[in-house]
Structure 1
Amino acid sequence: MKRRNKIIFLFLLPIVAFGVWSFSNDERYFEMAKNLDIYSTLYSEVNKYYVDEVNPNTLINTSIDAMLEKLDPYTVYIPEDDIEDFRTNATGQYGGIGILSNRIGNRHLVLNLYEESPAQEAGIKIGDEIVKIDGRSVVGMSDEDLGKLIKGQSGTDVLVGVKRNKGEYLDLQVQRKKITIPNIAYKTLLPGNIGYFKLTEFTRTAAEDVESSVKDLKNQGAEYIVFDLRGNPGGLLNEAVDICNLFVPKGSKIVETRGKTEAQSMTYVAEKEPLDLGIPLAVIIDNNSASASEIVSGVIQDYDRGVIVGQKSFGKGLVQVTRPLSYNSQLKVTTAKYYIPSGRCIQALDYQHKDINGQATEIPDSLKEAFFTSSNRIVYDGGGVDPDIKVKKPNKSSYIENLAKSGLLFDYATDYYYAHEAISPATEFKLSDQEYEAFASWVRKKDFENKSKIEGAVDLLAQAAEEDKVYAQLTDEISRIDDEIHKLKANGLTTFKKEIKHQLELEIIRRYYLNQGVLEATLSKDPEVIKAMETLNDPDKYRSILHK
């Protein structure tokens, strides 16, 4: 290790020397060279004198990550070991078995399967606990490390050891294949000749997939389109541009990037003939619709090409590119901000000016600038895309959130699956009151820790009252509040029966029909989809929104 550290140190010295010689007349580059020199000598001294052995990879990577954290959360160092995961995010493809797994408690559980995936063909089921990979125990392993063991070269085999319902252990041989994460999670024709599709990724072929979906829906009779971008974190800029091109005239400006260099300052226009300029559109967004999702929804809004439904989008108006580094590593770096046709930038956080805690600050409303759509509707920059039709998200109960996090909903759905060979179609499946009560009785026998935020606040209040004589008289009042909270918790399975029952039904549906079944079961009651359908079915309302 000492020899390796010495090599690193000696390798840095010529770089530093070159920096000083090459940029001696430029104060900025002199400061860079000076600090690189300080850094390399500091590292050498730590390595030489620190009481314990120093891992060079850990120390250097930590320092790089800390440096980049000072910029923004999107500028990151990608070491060689993580390149494959980065490519997966960009392309939507990887060599693997087609499962989604996560830790619940100390268990690695299969949460979902891709249709016709190698895992499904080999007999892996939702609810299986992964305990071994190629004979190696994964107990206590991180999700990241487990994923690295499962993924690999297409065509190679992996032995997956799972525990199934009632503790049965199985070794399942799975041949890895090229897995393509679908951009389109679901599409269907809704009542009233309304075509619906959900785009979850902006990986390669996203525009091609959207075009194919719209054509298919139109062939089925769709006269309107609902385009669902909720939860879509973005992806490839060119795919967003090409998707916009499907609905706006050739030659239309889509997005402009403005960066430090000329190469990063570009204007993207619609280069092809559009697919359809007339079909009414409703685009659904939420707080997790970001980046490329905001380009698409923002362009549709700026050209008054469709109505935007839901909640304000995330507000990521920053563009990243990757730059190659030595030893097969890469840097993903923010190089520009993007501006949509009205001229606005929807970036919500200011990473250049942070508060005293080092947190990025939100752009205040007083500094937000007004812009105008094609029909002179007012829109604003500096905070995501505001929907034309706002639909408030219902507040979630901490009781239901804790019930889901505990794994009890998940485990009961698994038990139900093994006790019932089949269920009715996803759109029709409902649990009876007797079945729900059986679930409630099962939960009551479990060790369910349901700590809420309000309990934490009351605990702190009680502690403060005990430590301060002035407020000691409030102890009884605080105790009464605590008693009331526990009464509400004790009745949670009854108080929140409707919501819990719905969540349990969806978990059970997923066992039989995967994600497509869950989407089928939720659309008819989805408030944003209902609002989009109502608007599209009312031409006067639709036009009035776009031409205020």
Structure 2
Amino acid sequence: MKKNFRTPILLALIVIGGGMVSLRLPVKEDYFEMSKQLEILNSAFRELNIFYVDPLSPGDLMKTGIEAILESLDPYTRYYPESKMEDVRFMSTGEYGGVGLSLGERWDGTFFITDIQEGSPAEISGLRLGDNLVEINGQTVSNLNMKKIGELIKGTSGTDIELGVSHANTSEIVTFSITRQKIKRPDVPYYGMISDSTGYLILSKFTRTASVEVRKALIQLTDSMGAKQIVFDLRGNGGGLLREAVNIVNLFVPKGQEVVSMRGKTADWNKNYGTTRKALLPDIPLVILMDDRSASASEIVAGTLQDLDRAVIIGQESFGKGLVQQTKKLAYGSRIKITVAKYYTASGRCVQRLHYDDKNSDGNATIQADSTLKTFYTNNGRPVIEGRGVIPDIEILPEDFGFVVGGIMNSELIFDFVVHTINNAELNNELAEEIDAKGFGISDKQWNEFVEFALQELDSELLLNSKRKFPYESNTTTLVSTLEKTMADDGFLAENTDLVSKLKSLVEPNLEEDLSRNEETLRDLISEEMIFHYKNTSGVFIYSLPKDAVALSAVSTLEGKEYLKVLGF
């Protein structure tokens, strides 16, 4: 029997993972109880404003009250005052007024440019990666936080802003006058061939253009580049518009197939959505890559394609967000985003992991016990369970960099070394000539320069209390430090000082040895950062994909007999 799917117009307004809808739904409530509680709140608010000893801002007080109420529900139900409407629009469109740069915060509280979008006002003006942001419109940023800085840099397209920066290793402030433009990063930041017959594309978010961008990438991969099979990367994709998730499934699944259903507090939110068009690639072999940051709309795509035995899922268990939000207009231009329903993939399972209506004694959401989880089945009879996100067909655990490499990555040491290298005119010219995203690797000379740079920046006296806040502690050194503190608290340290000192010396880190031990991994990370500075995002993908264990597993699965076996054919 043919499913009666709801209209695309309604679907276009619903957001999974943040966004908006504009519907009027009748809701039966105990209006007396609601009126009573509103009257109590109104009375308390009025008395506070009249009698509280210190001056109060009614707007700030009300915002705090609303946010406290919403915080007791779930992290997705949120209040947006009129000043945050740009954030609401960004969730659905992916567009904002700005200059096209990203910032990071250093160990000393200063802010620096970590990314500049190609073709953006920031790039055209001459701003560089690694520049330190000092002023905005003549106002110092030293007493501002990242959130406030972001609000100041964003603004209406066509308006001007002045950014005062100091280039790396200099203190001179250079002022750039920049005109804001409408900024939108592509939903598909990269696509290309990962093997002779395998196409690859990555989708970073589900905004209004997601399915169009995916469709264009697939056409290019299959028609122009010769792809016979596809690896579709949803790692790190936190979701977006439900419409786009359904449209993307429709690229691989024929017309008339249910994709997702919703069930809410009222019958009005009990809806089914399915494919309404002819599929672009109904038969092409397909692998979906996921990780623990893949959520919401990503889980609809992966979960439904898994339910239909249309794709093999490789990677890690996904986040597990099966909740639907609706944004409603409030008075004076403000809005509220409310969780109104749960969604269910084609097999009937809900991927929601956390239960916010059943919190423990600490106030944290609970996870449903394994023994109570229901099992559902794919078209070919493969078991899939609810309540755990999307569990991959082939699990590949994430790479564990260890405390040394992880600490170096978090300290921005590699980024700063590359900026230092680029700012050296002679080294910069050498790099510009030799960098090729496909076959590049740093030379022994460059590795030795990095080791020297690291030792200078992270000398032995600063390792545990570094100016970079370098977390140079393994689990072992942490345990020894904890042991020392516990012995001191219990009064045993004084008589065992020599023993503890010997133990500490045994596990004490040696930076030079640790750099050497992790040389291969660090060389890759330095090479990747250099490529990013010269070749941007596409260059990083070209360089890193041949080394990506999850992506390589996908290619191997597609090119071998395992693909059909996993799907139950």
Common topology (TM > 0.5): yes
| % identity of equivalent residues | 38
Structure-2 residue corresponding to 1:33: 35
Aligned to 1:312: 317
Match of 1:19 in 2: none
Distance 1:429 1:392 in 2: 27
Shift of 1:482: 2.8
- Greater shift, 456-465 or 140-149, is seen at 456-465
Q: Which residue of 1 aligns with 2:150?
A: 147
Distance 1:500 1:99 in 2: 26
Q: Which residues of 2 match residues 332-347 of structure 1 at below 5 A? A: 332-347=337-352
Distance between the aligned counterparts of 1:122 and 1:37, measured in 2?
55
Deviation at 1:502, TM superposition (A): 1.9
Match of 1:468 in 2: 490
Check whether the contact 1:112–1:514 (CA below 8 A) recurs between aligned residues: no
Query: In the alignment, which of 183, 186, 196 is matched to residue 182 of structure 1?
Result: 186
Tell me the secondary structure at the aligned position of residue 522 of structure 2: helix
Per-residue CA deviations over 1:39-92 (Å, capped at 9, x if unaligned) read 222223333333322222332222211111111110111111111022112201
Task: Look up the equivalent residue of 1:207 and give its one-letter code.
Answer: S
Q: 2: distance between equivalents of 1:265 and 1:400? A: 49
Q: After alignment, is 182-191 or 485-494 more displaced?
A: 485-494
* Preserved CA contact (<8 Å) 1:260 1:335: yes
Once residues 423 and 301 of structure 2 are traced to their aligned partners in structure 1, the CA distance between those partners, rounded to angstroms, is 43
2:217 counterpart of 1:213: yes
Determine helix, strand or coil for the equivalent of 1:487: coil
Cα distance, 1:475 vs structure 2 = 6.0
Does 1 or 2 have the higher relative contact order (CA < 8 Å, sep 6+)?
Answer: 2
Corresponding residue of 1:352? 357
Shift of 1:33: 2.5
Matched AA of 1:45: E
Which residue does 1:200 correspond to in 2? 204
| Further displaced range: 521-530 or 438-447 | 438-447
Scaled by the length of structure 1, the TM-score of the pair is 0.91
Output the CA distance in 2 between the equivalents of 1:289 and 1:27.
Answer: 36
Q: How much is the aligned-residue C-alpha RMSD, in angstroms?
A: 1.9
Q: Aligned partners of 1:277, 1:30: CA distance in 2, in Å?
A: 54
1:544 aligned residue:
565
1:414 is aligned to: 419
- Superposed displacement of residue 159, structure 1: 1.7
1:211-266, Cα deviation, whole Å (9 max, x unpaired): 11111100121100110000000000000001001111111000000001222221
1:443 aligns with 2:446: no
What amino acid maps onto 1:408 in structure 2? L
- How far apart, CA to CA, are the structure 2 residues paired with 1:515 and 1:128? 19
| Match in the other structure for 2:77 | 75
Equivalent position to 1:47, from 46, 49, 61:
49
Shift of 1:104: 2.1
Offset at residue 488 of structure 1 (A)? 4.8
CA distance in 1, matches of 2:440, 2:359: 50
SS in 1 for 2:483: helix
User: 1:184 aligns to what SS in structure 2?
Assistant: coil
* Conserved 8 A contact 2:205-2:240: yes
Of 475-484 and 116-125, deviating more is 475-484
Contact residue 299 and residue 318 of structure 2 kept, 8 A: yes
Matched residue type, 1:206: A
SS of residue paired to 2:268 = helix
The residue type paired with residue 529 of structure 2 is E
Q: Is the 8 A contact 1:466 1:475 kept in 2?
A: no
Which residue of the other structure, out of 78, 81, 89, is the alignment partner of 2:91?
89
Taking structure 2 as the reference length, the TM-score comes to 0.88
Describe the shift of the 1:159–1:479 C-alpha distance in structure 2 as closer, same or farther (beyond 3 A).
same
Consecutive unaligned residues of structure 2, counting only runs of 5 or more, are 1-27
1:495-514 to 2 correspondences below 5 Å: 495-514=517-536
Which moved further from structure 2: 198-207 or 76-85?
A: 76-85
Q: Does the alignment pair 1:397 with 2:419?
A: no
Asked if structure 1 preserves the Cα contact closer than 8 Å seen for 2:229 and 2:286, the reply is yes
AA partner of residue 539 (structure 2): G
| Whole-Å separation in 2 of the counterparts to 1:107 and 1:273 | 53
- Report the residue type matching 2:183 in the other structure: I
Distance 1:33 1:532, change over 3 A: same
Would you say the 8 A contact 1:192–1:537 is kept in 2?
Answer: no
Q: For structure 1, list consecutive stretches of 5 or more residues without a partner in the other structure.
A: 1-25
Shifted more, 247-256 versus 118-127: the winner is 118-127
Out of 58, 61, 80, the residue aligned to residue 60 of structure 2 is 58
Cα distance change on mapping 1:27 and 1:424 into 2, 3 Å: closer
- The counterpart of 2:141, out of the listed 138, 143, 146, is 138
Judge conservation of contact 1:465–1:475 (CA < 8 Å) in 2. Answer: no
